[in-house]
Every structure is written in C-alpha cells, then in structure tokens.
C-alpha cells in the first residue's frame, strides 16, 4: 500500500491528494485524543519494530552492508528508547503549563496548552532511515498529529520494512508511507502540511524551506555540516583516539554528527596520529584490509563523491597516515586518516559523510576557534580536554547545534537533551519533549477569573490619576 514507485506518473498527485484529504479530516479528530490513546498507538509501533527486528537487520545489511550491532544500535534502539520515554512522560508533557501572573494581570490565570499542529510530513534520509522515520513519527503521534512519511529511495530494502511496519500499526488516514524518488518528495512538498520534519543536507533543506514558505508551514530541519573536534594539550590521547575512531567509523562515517575534522594542539599531533593509526587499523581486520564490519558507502555515486574528496586532498599535498585503500565495486573506502591537508581542499569545505578523517594542528586555542568560526555553524562540536577553562572557552567562543566533551556524538543519544542544528546545520530541535514540542502548537490561554481587571482603569476618559498609575508601572 502507498508504494508510489509502482504507480504510473499520472496517478502520483491523485494518490497523494487522496491520502492527504483523509488525513486532513482525521487531524481534527486527533485533537481530542487522550495521552492513553496516543500511547496505545506508540506501543503498537514499538511492538511491530521489535517483531520486525530481524527484517530491519537484514534490510540494513542488504542496503549498506550494515553490521547487526550497528543496526540494533543505530536503527532500533533509538526508536524503542523514544517510545519508552514518551510512555513515561506524555501525560506530563500534555498537561497545560501554568504561568505566573504579574501584578498588571491580577484577576487572570494564564496557561500554555500543547495542541497538535495537525497534518505533518516526515522526509527521512538514507543513513539511518528507520531511526529517522520512526523517532519523528513518535513525536508526531505523541503530539496528536497525522503523518505522511517519505523514506529515502537509496535504501529500498529498509523503505519496504518501514512501509510494512506502518501498514500494520496505522490506518492510512493517520499515518502513511510513500516510497519513490525525488519526484515523490517534490509532489509531497506541494501539499499544505501544518509541519514538515526533514533530515538531510543543507542544500535540500533550502528546497524544503522554500516549499514550506508557500504555505507558511513550520519546519524542523535536521541538516549537517562539518562537525569539528578540538584536542588540546591536556587531552587523554589514547581515549580521544579510541572515541574518535568509533564516531568516525560508525555507519561508515555516514552520520550527520560524525566528527568531520580534528584540530589538535601541535605538541600532541604526532601522538594523536599514532593512536589514531592503531585504532583505525583495528577496524581493518581482514587480510585484504576490507574491514568486514565497516558499513559500506551507500552507493557508487556516493563512493565516487567521497573518493573525489580524497583524491582532491592528495592532489593538494595531503598525506595519508593510514588507510587510503578503495574498491568502487564494493562501495568501500578504508578507514583513512590524513594530515597536511590544505585549507583549500574540498575535504575542508564539504561534509565528508565517509570514513575519512583529516587531522590539522594549531598553535593556540584562538587559532583553532578562528578556523571553526570561519565556517558555517556545525551540527555538533567536540572537545577533548582536561582543562575546564579551555572547555568553557571553546563553548563560549563557538556556536553549534550540540556538543559532547571528551567523547563524540553521545549528546544525540541522550533522551532528555534537545537535538538539532543552528542556521546552516538546522532549524528547530527534536528528541523527547523537544520532539513533542516541535509537532505541537504552544497555545496561550488566559482566563479572566475575577471582576478585577486593569482595563477598568485604562478606559477613556484618561484621568491624571490614571496617567500617574501607568507612569509608575512603566518605571
């Protein structure tokens, strides 16, 4: 059902419009659903994800040669964790939040009510499609919204599993999945949704935002960028190398918050390069260096792109410290550390999204911060340091969607922290309450509960006494 890629092109818009109309009608009903009713749906989704665990693992391997551990960690666990968090907290999240009453509002009672935005569109990426379809869907259902989901065509096996799970759990008038290529996404973006949740790169994010502007639709954009790492003179180098290698190679480096480049204090550069070499070589355990447990680059087009970044860097004088092997037929590039990378290379300007890690040195922290601030604001920033003043200076002197200190990427897994970017790396936050909030309208409601109201003294004719009272309030 809703496999748009199987429909003739002439029927595409008609089918999308049909389901959209169903969801427009259903969204009105969903406004009055209770926390219990929404949680019942989420628990059905959770049970279906667990029931299809083997299918998700197999599809992830078919699409990207993703190891079972990474499929469990990166696709399934975030979904069950998000639903479990909603199960524990949704009743509290939905409760109207009382606000304090200032003196000029005596006689009133104010509160913020969270009401569903309505019909929503979720456009998921190819790198972790189950995660980034079902975690936003969890937020949408928790908020009381309908949803149309467009998974990426670049991971077709996982898209089929996503569609199957949704069909088992929801009526299409509430949640529906539409497979297909860019033409499906473009057609969906012409519809007047109440909210769009998009995960992907900044260039397509601009396309989504332009389309949303046509209907004044609110957006949550989780984009990307070049997430930097600072390793200062005090860092535990062995620990930093181990954690950097984990973050760089998880999902084959195809994660929006993966460490993108490293700035290391010049006094520790050689030590870090040695430690990174040992860590990267642990991941290339096969005799042919093919790293059997490294997720492959998603397709040949992206392999060509990542290979192009490597070739350009080498042509501009970069040196491979470890790795560098490549096999286009296998969509494989070995875990690779580079140094002496030119600031003008594409590697330092484009998001890598692959297992390449450039390492640059800096003399003092000011130089490192200037280099970071010369680029668009990243989705994440990481620092390895045992000097509190340095950590504070890094956090104050830069801007990023989120940060992890003395590790990488973990802030994105913390259920009670907001996740998202800033400017070029994204708009809006998600995860836990912040995801519920993204799919909700925060409606201000004020009750006049007594006969006392300042407006009785603020009506014409305006007396000198009224002017004196207002002047006192102003001051």
Catalytic residues: 222, 256
288 within 8 A of 244, measured Cβ to Cβ: no
Alpha-carbon separation of residue 432 from 33, 43, 52, 369, 419 (angstroms): 19, 16, 23, 31, 9
| Alpha-carbon gap, residue 195 to 434, rounded angstroms | 15
How far apart are the C-alpha atoms of 33 and 234, rounded to whole Å? 54
b/e for 255-274, b at 16 or more Cβ within 10 A?
A: bbbbbbbbbbbeebbebbbe
DSSP per-residue string spanning 389-412: HHHHHHHHH---SEEEESSSSGGG
Q: What's the CA gap between 422 and 375, in Å, rounded?
A: 13
| Largest distance between two CA atoms of the chain | 92
DSSP string, 326-353: EEGGGTEE--EEEES--TTSGGGTS---
Count H helices and E strands in the chain, helices first. Answer: 16, 18
Is residue 220 classed as helix, strand or coil in its secondary structure? strand
Phi, psi of 431 (to 5 degrees): 95, 125
| Distance from C-alpha of 252 to C-alpha of 268, rounded to nearest angstrom | 26
Alpha-carbon span 134 to 147, nearest angstrom: 11
User: Considering only CA atoms, which of 114, 116, 118, 120 is closest in space to residue 212?
Assistant: 120
């Amino acid at each position: 059902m809703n496999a748009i890629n199987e429909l003739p092109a002439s029927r595409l818009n008609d089918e999308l419009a049909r389901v959209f109309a169903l969801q427009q009608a259903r969204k009105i009903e969903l406004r009055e659903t209770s926390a219990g009713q929404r949680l019942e749906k989420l628990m059905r989704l959770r049970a279906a994800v667990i029931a299809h665990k083997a299918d998700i693992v197999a599809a992830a391997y078919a699409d990207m040669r993703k190891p079972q551990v990474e499929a469990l960690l990166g696709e399934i666990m975030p979904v069950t964790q998000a639903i479990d968090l909603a199960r524990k907290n949704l009743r509290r999240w939905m409760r109207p939040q009382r606000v304090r009453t200032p003196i000029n509002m005596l006689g009133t009672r104010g509160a913020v009510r969270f009401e569903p935005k309505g019909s929503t569109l979720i456009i998921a990426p190819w790198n972790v499609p189950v995660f980034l379809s079902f975690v936003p869907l969890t937020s949408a259902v928790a908020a009381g919204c309908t949803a149309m989901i467009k998974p990426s065509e670049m991971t077709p096996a996982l898209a089929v599993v996503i569609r199957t799970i949704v069909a088992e759990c929801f009526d299409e008038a509430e949640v529906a999945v539409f497979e297909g290529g860019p033409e499906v996404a473009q057609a969906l973006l012409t519809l007047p949704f109440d909210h769009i949740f998009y995960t992907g790169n900044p260039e397509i994010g601009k396309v989504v935002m332009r389309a949303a502007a046509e209907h004044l639709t609110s957006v949550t954009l989780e984009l990307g960028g070049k997430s930097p790492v600072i390793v200062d003179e005090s860092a535990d180098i062995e620990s930093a190398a181990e954690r950097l290698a984990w973050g760089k190679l998880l999902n084959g480096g195809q994660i929006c918050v993966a460490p993108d480049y490293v700035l290391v204090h010049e006094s520790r550069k050689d030590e870090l390069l040695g430690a990174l070499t040992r860590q990267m070589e642990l991941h290339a355990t096969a005799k042919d260096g093919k790293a059997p447990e490294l997720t492959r680059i998603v397709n040949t087009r992206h392999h060509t792109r990542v290979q192009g970044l490597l070739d350009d860097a080498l042509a501009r004088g970069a040196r491979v410290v470890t790795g560098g092997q490549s096999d286009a037929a296998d969509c494989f590039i070995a875990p690779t550390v580079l140094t002496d990378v030119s600031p003008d290379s594409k590697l330092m300007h484009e998001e890598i999204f692959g297992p390449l890690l450039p390492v640059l040195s800096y003399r003092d922290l000011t130089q490192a911060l200037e280099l970071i601030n010369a680029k668009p604001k990243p989705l994440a920033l990481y620092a390895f340091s045992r000097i509190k003043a340095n950590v504070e200076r890094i956090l104050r002197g830069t801007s990023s969607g989120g940060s992890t200190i003395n590790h990488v990427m973990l802030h994105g897994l913390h259920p009670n922290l907001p996740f998202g970017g800033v400017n070029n790396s994204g708009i809006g936050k998600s995860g836990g309450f912040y995801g519920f909030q993204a799919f909700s309208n925060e409606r201000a409601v004020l009750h006049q509960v007594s006969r006392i109201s300042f407006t009785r003294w603020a009506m014409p004719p305006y007396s000198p006494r009224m002017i004196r009272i207002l002047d006192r309030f102003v001051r």
